[in-house]
Structure 1
Amino acid sequence: MRVSEAINSRRSMRVFKPDPVAKADIEWIIENANRSASNGNLQPWKLYVTMGAARKRLSAAILKAMDEGDNGPGAEYNVYPQEFTPVYDARRKLVGKQLYTLLGVPRGDAAGMLKQFRKNYEFFDAPVGMILCVEKRMGNGQWIDCGIFLDQLMLLAREKGLHTCPQAAFSRYQHVVRRELGIPDDQIVICGLALGHADPDVVPNSLITERAPIGDFTTWFAE
Structure 2
Amino acid sequence: MRVSEAINSRRSMRVFKADPVPQADIEWIISTASRAASNGNLQPWKLYVTTGKARQRLSAAILKAMDDGDNGPGAEYNVYPKEFTPVYDQRRKLVGKQLYTLLGVPRGDAAGMLKQFRKNYDFFDAPVGMILCVERRMGNGQWIDCGIFLDQLMLLAREKGLHTCPQAAFSRYQHVVRRELKIPDDEVVICGLALGYADPDEVPNSLITERAPLQDFTTWFHE
Equivalent residue, structure 2, for 1:9: 9
Q: Which amino acid aligns with 1:142?
A: Q
SS of 1:37 mapped into structure 2? coil
Instruction: Indicate the RMSD between aligned Cα atoms, in angstroms.
Output: 0.4
| Matched position secondary structure for 1:130 | strand
Where does residue 89 of structure 2 map in the other structure? 89
Rounded to whole Å, the distance in 2 between the matches of 1:8 and 1:199 is: 18
When the two structures are superposed, what TM-score results if normalisation uses the length of structure 1?
1.00
> Counterparts of 2:13 and 2:105 in 1: how far apart (Å)?
17
User: How far apart are residue 200 of structure 1 and its match?
Assistant: 2.5
How high is the TM-score relative to the length of structure 2?
1.00
**Residue identity in the other structure for 2:128:** V
Report the AA paired with residue 100 of structure 2.
Answer: Y
Specify the code of the residue in structure 1 equivalent to 2:120.
N
Which residue does the alignment assign to 1:168? 168
- Per the TM alignment, residue 131 of structure 1 is displaced from its structure 2 partner at its CA by 0.1
Rounded Cα–Cα distance in structure 1 between residues aligned with 2:188 and 2:92: 25
3-state SS of 1:54 partner: helix
Q: How far off is 1:46 after superposition?
A: 0.1
Give the aligned length: 223
Deviation of 1:128 after TM superposition, in Å, equals 0.1
1:137 is matched with 137
Q: Which position in structure 1 is the counterpart of 2:159? A: 159
Percent of paired sites with the same residue: 90
> Could you report, residue by residue, the CA deviation over 1:70-97 in whole angstroms, capped at 9, with x for unpaired residues?
0000000000000000000000000000
Cα shift at 1:24: 0.3
Q: What do residues 130-160 of structure 1 show as CA deviations (whole Å, max 9, x unaligned)?
A: 0000000000000000000000000000000
Letter in 2 for 1:198: A
CA displacement at 1:202 relative to structure 2: 1.4
Matching of residue 195 in structure 1 with residue 195 in structure 2: yes
What is the aligned partner in structure 2 of residue 222 from structure 1?
222
Write the deviation string for residues 99-141 of structure 1: whole angstroms up to 9, x where unpaired. Answer: 0000000000000000000000000000000000000000000
The unaligned stretches of length 5 or more in structure 1 are none
